[in-house]
Amino acid sequence: MNNNLFGGVIPPQPPVEAKTDVHVVKSRLEWGEPAFTILDVRDRPVYNEGHIMGAMTMPIDELVDRAVPSLDKSRDIYVYGATEQQTAEAARKLRSAGFEHISELQGGLAAWKAIGGPTEGIIESQTPSGADDYNVVDRLKNHVEAQQKDV
């Protein structure tokens, strides 16, 4: 018997990769895919200034103590920190604690903001929207230009 209430309309999500591009997470959010969590492992005051909308704060020094009792170990978890090194350390800690589906969100908050991902926080609420925030064509153009600069 097929227990999929949507009759195959929503395809199953492939397992998360060890590292994930922000576009993948944004796409999952836009499609309303359930059962994943975004963790911000930066210090709480930095998190309060601005973070990915919906991300949970779990500072790296408290990460395992907070994650183990509150998150399912088979849940898809995307993690980001202040640096790529902090992100990698957080992912290692979570994997060592038995979490199965951990992915490092490449570029963290800066990459997320660069593609127009939704953010929230004290500073983010005071920052006016950019001209391209609501224009998909301009956002894509800006993203392509940014990618070409990185090459």
Q: Per DSSP, what are the bridge partners of residue 56?
A: 39
What tens digit of pLDDT does each residue of 89-103 get?
999 999 999 999 999
Residues 71 and 77: beta-carbon distance below 8 Å: yes
122 compared with 61, residue with greater pLDDT: 61
Q: Residue 10 has which token pair?
A: 């929503």
Residue 142 has pLDDT above 50, yes or no: yes
Q: How many C-beta neighbours within 10 Å does residue 82 have?
A: 15
What tens digit of pLDDT does each residue of 107-126 get?
999 999 999 888 998 876 66
- What's the CA gap between 140 and 118, in Å, rounded? 15
Residues 25 and 17: beta-carbon distance below 8 Å: no
